[in-house]
A and B are shown apart, each in its own frame.
Chain A
Amino acid sequence: AQKITQTQPGMFVQEKEAVTLDCTYDTSDPSYGLFWYKQPSSGEMIFLIYQGSYDQQNATEGRYSLNFQKARKSANLVISASQLGDSAMYFCAMREGGYSSASKIIFGSGTRLSIRP
């Protein structure tokens, strides 16, 4: 069965340090995708980065990178040089199936990241 696990309910990090948010997943489908979203205190959901199961390289988007370890079924988000504005809830999500699938997407329970000045 499709499952996403985020084991860190909350984290505190000093400004300008790098931070890694953990995400593990479980699926029997060889074709899947992993997403990370940010939810600031204002409540909107902001898409950050995507990794496909067949992608050869780890995804990067600016200060965000995804440490994708397929054999370990982990897709950790790395934020380099953290900023005060990075304080938010972060959610990992997974889409099972390829182009012909119905595109069911489930989320983890989230990690609340707090950046200290």
Chain B
Amino acid sequence: DAGITQSPRHKVTETGTPVTLRCHQTENHRYMYWYRQDPGHGLRLIHYSYGVKDTDKGEVSDGYSVSRSKTEDFLLTLESATSSQTSVYFCAIKNSTGKLNSPLHFGNGTRLTVT
């Protein structure tokens, strides 16, 4: 398995509180991604990063911010959690060695419940 660790694996938080999810990789890959998975919606891209301090918005970025100060860490922050952000969050990484067919490798997911 690609070296990707998501923490925490499970979290329950209250509406209005800030939450930070961490994705850590040991592969030195350039690209990192945050997705959320909800029934009927598949995986939706929240934010992605193409290098240290280089990030861009995805399809559902409202209410989320990210930071990447080191190659190995990509943090996802919910500034003020809402019940609509209850979801399973997946981090993924992608090699950047110039192969267009390089696939995403996923972490095990973080199950977040906002009450």
Contact = CB atoms under 8 A, between A and B. Distances in A.
A68 to B, nearest CB: 13
Most buried by B among A31, A50, A107: A107
Interface in A75-117: 91, 93, 95, 98-99, 102-110
Nearest to A104: B48
Contacts of B89: none
Interface residues on B, range: 20 to 34
Given A99-B100, A103-B50, A109 B41 contact: yes
Interface residues of A, number: 26
Contact of B103 (A43, A47, A108): A47
A104 B42 contact: no
Interface stretch (B16-24, B64-72, B74-82, B104-112): B104-112
B106 A105 contact: no
B56 interface: yes
Contacts of B33: 105
A107 B42 contact: yes
Contacts of A9: 40
The listed residue with most B CB atoms (<10 A of its CB), out of A31, A91, A105, A106, is A105
Contact of B43 (A43, A50, A99, A107): A107
Contacts of A50: 101, 103
A33 B42 CA distance: 19
A110 B58 CA distance: 18
A34 B25 CA distance: 24
Interface of B: 31, 33, 35, 40-45, 48, 50, 54, 56, 58-59, 88, 90, 92, 94, 96, 98, 100-101, 103-106, 108-109
- Nearest 3 CB-CB pairs, A to B? A109-B42, A45-B106, A47-B103
